[in-house]
Structure 1
Amino acid sequence: MQTWPIQDAKARFSEFLETCLAEGPQMVTKRGSEAAVLVPVDEWRRLQAAARPSLKQLLLTDEARAVLVLPSRGQARRRKPPVLG
Protein backbone atom coordinates (compact mmCIF):
# COMPACT_ATOMS: atom_id res chain seq x y z
CA MET A 1 0.00 0.00 0.00
CA GLN A 2 1.44 3.32 -1.06
CA THR A 3 1.37 6.25 1.36
CA TRP A 4 0.46 9.74 0.20
CA PRO A 5 0.85 12.95 2.23
CA ILE A 6 -2.45 14.82 2.19
CA GLN A 7 -0.94 17.69 0.18
CA ASP A 8 0.13 15.29 -2.61
CA ALA A 9 -3.19 13.44 -2.56
CA LYS A 10 -5.05 16.75 -2.97
CA ALA A 11 -2.71 18.19 -5.60
CA ARG A 12 -2.55 14.99 -7.68
CA PHE A 13 -5.98 13.52 -6.96
CA SER A 14 -6.46 12.01 -10.44
CA GLU A 15 -3.15 10.15 -10.14
CA PHE A 16 -4.04 9.18 -6.56
CA LEU A 17 -7.37 7.72 -7.73
CA GLU A 18 -5.85 5.93 -10.73
CA THR A 19 -3.18 4.37 -8.50
CA CYS A 20 -5.91 3.19 -6.14
CA LEU A 21 -7.87 1.58 -8.98
CA ALA A 22 -4.75 -0.05 -10.46
CA GLU A 23 -2.86 -1.10 -7.32
CA GLY A 24 -5.45 -1.21 -4.54
CA PRO A 25 -5.91 0.77 -1.32
CA GLN A 26 -3.85 3.94 -0.83
CA MET A 27 -2.99 5.42 2.59
CA VAL A 28 -3.27 9.17 3.23
CA THR A 29 -1.21 10.76 5.98
CA LYS A 30 -1.82 14.04 7.77
CA ARG A 31 1.17 15.58 9.52
CA GLY A 32 2.94 12.22 9.29
CA SER A 33 0.15 10.20 10.93
CA GLU A 34 -2.09 7.75 9.08
CA ALA A 35 -5.42 9.49 8.53
CA ALA A 36 -7.45 7.70 5.84
CA VAL A 37 -7.43 5.05 3.13
CA LEU A 38 -8.79 5.33 -0.39
CA VAL A 39 -10.25 1.95 -1.37
CA PRO A 40 -11.70 0.80 -4.71
CA VAL A 41 -15.49 0.51 -4.56
CA ASP A 42 -15.51 -3.26 -5.24
CA GLU A 43 -13.27 -3.88 -2.27
CA TRP A 44 -15.35 -1.51 -0.12
CA ARG A 45 -18.53 -3.44 -0.95
CA ARG A 46 -16.81 -6.75 -0.20
CA LEU A 47 -15.64 -5.43 3.18
CA GLN A 48 -19.10 -4.07 3.99
CA ALA A 49 -20.77 -7.38 3.14
CA ALA A 50 -18.25 -9.29 5.26
CA ALA A 51 -18.74 -6.93 8.21
CA ARG A 52 -22.54 -7.30 8.33
CA PRO A 53 -23.90 -10.67 9.35
CA SER A 54 -26.82 -12.01 7.35
CA LEU A 55 -30.24 -12.52 8.93
CA LYS A 56 -29.60 -16.26 8.91
CA GLN A 57 -26.31 -15.79 10.76
CA LEU A 58 -28.02 -13.54 13.33
CA LEU A 59 -30.81 -16.05 13.96
CA LEU A 60 -28.43 -18.98 14.31
CA THR A 61 -25.92 -17.29 16.60
CA ASP A 62 -25.66 -18.25 20.28
CA GLU A 63 -24.84 -14.71 21.35
CA ALA A 64 -27.57 -12.53 22.79
CA ARG A 65 -28.09 -9.27 20.92
CA ALA A 66 -30.01 -7.57 23.74
CA VAL A 67 -30.94 -8.12 27.35
CA LEU A 68 -34.65 -8.77 27.82
CA VAL A 69 -35.80 -7.99 31.34
CA LEU A 70 -38.79 -10.06 32.40
CA PRO A 71 -40.60 -9.75 35.73
CA SER A 72 -40.35 -12.72 38.07
CA ARG A 73 -43.23 -15.16 37.93
CA GLY A 74 -46.02 -14.43 40.35
CA GLN A 75 -44.93 -10.81 40.87
CA ALA A 76 -47.25 -9.28 38.30
CA ARG A 77 -50.44 -7.74 39.60
CA ARG A 78 -53.63 -9.18 38.27
CA ARG A 79 -56.84 -7.32 37.73
CA LYS A 80 -60.00 -8.62 39.30
CA PRO A 81 -62.63 -9.42 36.69
CA PRO A 82 -65.67 -7.15 36.75
CA VAL A 83 -68.78 -8.55 38.37
CA LEU A 84 -71.48 -9.16 35.81
CA GLY A 85 -75.03 -9.23 36.78
Structure 2
Amino acid sequence: MAATWQVHDAKNRLSELMDRAVKEGPQVITRHGRPVVKVVAVDAHEATQPAGDDGFFEFLMSAPKIDELELPVRRGRKAPPELG
Protein backbone atom coordinates (compact mmCIF):
# COMPACT_ATOMS: atom_id res chain seq x y z
CA MET A 1 0.00 0.00 0.00
CA ALA A 2 1.34 3.43 -0.95
CA ALA A 3 2.07 6.00 1.74
CA THR A 4 -0.38 8.91 1.85
CA TRP A 5 0.46 12.60 2.21
CA GLN A 6 -1.79 15.63 2.60
CA VAL A 7 -1.02 18.44 0.14
CA HIS A 8 0.27 20.74 2.88
CA ASP A 9 2.71 18.09 4.15
CA ALA A 10 3.80 17.17 0.63
CA LYS A 11 4.65 20.81 -0.12
CA ASN A 12 6.61 21.28 3.08
CA ARG A 13 8.45 17.95 2.87
CA LEU A 14 8.90 17.49 -0.87
CA SER A 15 12.48 16.19 -0.61
CA GLU A 16 11.41 13.55 1.90
CA LEU A 17 8.43 12.59 -0.26
CA MET A 18 10.74 12.12 -3.25
CA ASP A 19 13.24 10.07 -1.24
CA ARG A 20 10.46 7.81 0.01
CA ALA A 21 9.09 7.35 -3.51
CA VAL A 22 12.54 6.13 -4.58
CA LYS A 23 13.18 3.93 -1.54
CA GLU A 24 9.72 2.71 -0.53
CA GLY A 25 7.56 2.98 -3.63
CA PRO A 26 4.65 5.14 -4.78
CA GLN A 27 3.48 8.00 -2.56
CA VAL A 28 -0.10 9.31 -2.82
CA ILE A 29 -0.96 12.97 -2.25
CA THR A 30 -4.50 13.72 -1.11
CA ARG A 31 -6.64 16.84 -1.23
CA HIS A 32 -9.57 17.04 1.16
CA GLY A 33 -9.04 13.36 1.95
CA ARG A 34 -9.25 12.23 -1.68
CA PRO A 35 -6.25 10.83 -3.59
CA VAL A 36 -5.31 13.18 -6.45
CA VAL A 37 -1.65 12.47 -7.33
CA LYS A 38 0.70 9.52 -7.15
CA VAL A 39 4.44 10.19 -7.02
CA VAL A 40 6.42 7.32 -8.53
CA ALA A 41 10.19 7.02 -8.98
CA VAL A 42 11.27 7.26 -12.61
CA ASP A 43 12.98 3.85 -12.53
CA ALA A 44 9.83 2.22 -11.13
CA HIS A 45 7.66 3.89 -13.77
CA GLU A 46 9.95 2.93 -16.65
CA ALA A 47 9.98 -0.68 -15.44
CA THR A 48 6.21 -0.83 -16.00
CA GLN A 49 6.40 0.38 -19.60
CA PRO A 50 6.42 -2.16 -22.44
CA ALA A 51 9.81 -2.69 -24.05
CA GLY A 52 10.25 -0.74 -27.26
CA ASP A 53 7.32 1.56 -26.53
CA ASP A 54 8.60 4.94 -27.70
CA GLY A 55 5.28 6.65 -27.25
CA PHE A 56 2.63 8.14 -29.46
CA PHE A 57 4.69 11.14 -30.58
CA GLU A 58 7.50 8.93 -31.85
CA PHE A 59 4.93 6.72 -33.59
CA LEU A 60 3.54 9.72 -35.45
CA MET A 61 7.00 11.00 -36.32
CA SER A 62 7.92 7.62 -37.82
CA ALA A 63 5.08 7.83 -40.37
CA PRO A 64 6.01 8.46 -44.01
CA LYS A 65 6.46 12.13 -44.90
CA ILE A 66 3.76 13.58 -47.15
CA ASP A 67 6.15 13.92 -50.10
CA GLU A 68 7.14 10.24 -49.67
CA LEU A 69 3.55 9.04 -49.54
CA GLU A 70 2.27 7.26 -52.63
CA LEU A 71 -1.49 7.20 -52.97
CA PRO A 72 -3.25 5.05 -55.57
CA VAL A 73 -4.99 6.83 -58.44
CA ARG A 74 -8.75 6.42 -58.17
CA ARG A 75 -10.44 5.93 -61.50
CA GLY A 76 -14.08 5.98 -62.47
CA ARG A 77 -15.13 8.65 -60.05
CA LYS A 78 -17.47 11.40 -61.02
CA ALA A 79 -16.28 14.96 -60.98
CA PRO A 80 -17.09 16.72 -57.74
CA PRO A 81 -20.40 18.61 -57.81
CA GLU A 82 -20.32 22.32 -58.57
CA LEU A 83 -20.85 24.37 -55.48
CA GLY A 84 -22.10 27.84 -55.67
How would you bin the TM-score normalised by the shorter chain? 0.5 to 0.7
| Distance of 2:44 and 2:19 partners within structure 1 | 15
Q: Taking structure 1 as reference, are residues 76 and 42 closer, same or farther at Cα in structure 2, changes over 3 Å only?
A: farther
Aligned to 1:36: 37
Secondary structure of 1:34's counterpart equals strand
2:17 partner amino acid: F
Equivalenced residue count is 60
| Distance of 2:39 and 2:78 partners within structure 1 | 56
| Distance of 1:43 and 1:24 partners within structure 2 | 8
TM-score of the aligned structures, taking structure 1 as reference length: 0.55
Secondary structure of 1:43's counterpart equals helix
Aligned to 1:5: 6
TM-aligned CA deviation for residue 26 of structure 1: 0.4
Unaligned runs of 5+ in 2: 60-75, 80-84
| Distance of 2:47 and 2:78 partners within structure 1 | 49
Aligned to 2:71: none
Structure ID, larger Rg: 1
Aligned to 2:70: none
Point out 4+ residue stretches in structure 1 off by more than 2 angstroms. Answer: 49-52, 74-77
TM-aligned CA deviation for residue 27 of structure 1: 0.5
| Distance of 1:76 and 1:44 partners within structure 2 | 54
